[in-house]
């Protein structure tokens, strides 16, 4: 495996990425976007997932992006636009016609956004997809951060595995997105026939509501774009159920790339 770390892709904002390359010819490229509710997280948190993709012969690009409280919506999404421009102009060892986006939690949201904007396939595990509608129906919920003090010291697969937590869900969304942008930040209404194929997964009893999954499914059906919806029993969040679905993710990418 070939690994490059701290490659600058946006000098203006000092944003860097890591690259995990396979031994031999890459079958395609993956943009791997870490989670963290747009307030925590780092590209190093997804090194494990990136290495698994590289072992399956993918060239994997894992970026950092701007997060709250220093930055707010749409800073992180704009960073992914900058990254896409960097990928297009940079010499990389894979056919750029075979590029997908993969992410978990907040990263799952941004992977879906890349599918909508650029028509590339995307995988989202527990993506933050129901934003405007959920907030409109949960005005009485009091936003609460809770204890996130050891977030960056814990394995991603062990974070937020205790089931529904509406106060926390509301807190990190409203911590990053202003009220005027709630509707704009919701992906489903912007799905078109040019959206890339999607694989969307969610646990049935986790803190990210399954409603976003089904909103996207309805929008993808209306646009006649291929998609997979996968629900997992229990309360595990995002990479917490990665082992359960990883073989399916490979099948999905084999079909769409």
Predicted local distance difference test score (pLDDT) of residue 162: 83
Predicted local distance difference test score (pLDDT) of residue 118: 98
| Whole-number average pLDDT of the chain | 95
- What domains are defined for the chain? 2-256 (3.40.50.1820)
Predicted local distance difference test score (pLDDT) of residue 10: 98
- 65-84 tens-digit pLDDT: 999 999 999 999 999 999 99
pLDDT (mean) for 204-208: 96
Predicted local distance difference test score (pLDDT) of residue 58: 98
Report the C-alpha gap between 47 and 143 in whole angstroms.
Answer: 31
DSSP the chain: -EEEEEEEEETTTTEEEEEEE-SS--SEEEEEE--STTTS--GGGGHHHHHHHHHTTEEEEEE----TTT--TTHHHHHHHHHHHHHHHS--SS-TTSEEEEEETHHHHHHHHHHHHH---EEEES-----HHHHHT-TTSPP-----TTGGGS-GGGSS-SS--HHHHHHHHHHHS-GGGTTTT-SGGG--TTSPPEEEEEETTSSS-THHHHHHHHHHHHHT--EEEEEESSS--GGGGHHHHHHHHHHHHHHH-
Q: What is the pTM of this model?
A: 0.96
- 59-69 tens-digit pLDDT: 999 999 999 99
Residue 36, CB-side half-sphere exposure with 13 Å CA sphere: 25
Whether the per-residue pLDDT at 235 is higher than 70: the answer is yes
pLDDT (mean) for 81-94: 97
Predicted local distance difference test score (pLDDT) of residue 94: 96
Predicted local distance difference test score (pLDDT) of residue 149: 66
Whether the per-residue pLDDT at 147 is higher than 90: the answer is no
Strand partners, 63: 17
Report the C-alpha gap between 40 and 90 in whole angstroms.
Answer: 28
Whether the per-residue pLDDT at 240 is higher than 80: the answer is yes
pLDDT (mean) for 174-196: 98
Percentage of the chain modeled with pLDDT above 90: 93
Contact 110, 76 (CB under 8 A): yes
- 156-169 tens-digit pLDDT: 667 667 889 999 99
Predicted local distance difference test score (pLDDT) of residue 253: 97
Predicted local distance difference test score (pLDDT) of residue 154: 67
């Amino acid at each position: 495996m070939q690994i490059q770390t701290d490659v600058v892709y946006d000098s203006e904002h000092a944003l860097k990425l890591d690259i995990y390359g396979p031994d031999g010819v890459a079958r395609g490229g993956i943009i791997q976007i870490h989670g963290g509710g747009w307030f925590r997280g780092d590209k190093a948190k997804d090194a494990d997932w990136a290495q698994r993709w590289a072992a399956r012969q993918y060239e994997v690009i894992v970026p950092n992006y701007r997060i709250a409280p220093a930055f707010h919506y749409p800073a992180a999404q704009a960073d992914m636009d900058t990254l896409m421009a960097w990928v297009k102009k940079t010499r990389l060892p894979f056919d750029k016609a075979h590029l997908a986006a993969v992410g978990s939690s907040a990263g799952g949201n941004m992977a879906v956004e890349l599918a909508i904007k650029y028509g590339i396939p995307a995988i989202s595990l527990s993506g933050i997809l129901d934003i405007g509608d959920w907030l409109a129906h949960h005005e009485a919920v009091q936003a609460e951060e809770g204890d996130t003090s050891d977030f960056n010291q814990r394995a991603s697969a062990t974070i937020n595995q205790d089931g529904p937590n509406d106060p926390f869900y509301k807190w990190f969304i409203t911590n990053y997105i202003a009220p005027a942008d709630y509707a704009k930040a919701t992906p489903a209404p912007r799905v078109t026939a040019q959206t890339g194929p999607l694989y969307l997964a969610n646990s049935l009893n986790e803190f990210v509501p399954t409603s976003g999954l089904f909103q996207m499914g309805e929008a993808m059906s209306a646009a006649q774009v291929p998609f997979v919806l996968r629900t997992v029993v229990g309360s595990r969040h995002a990479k917490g159920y990665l082992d359960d679905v990883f073989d399916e993710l490979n099948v999905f990418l084999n079909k769409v790339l």
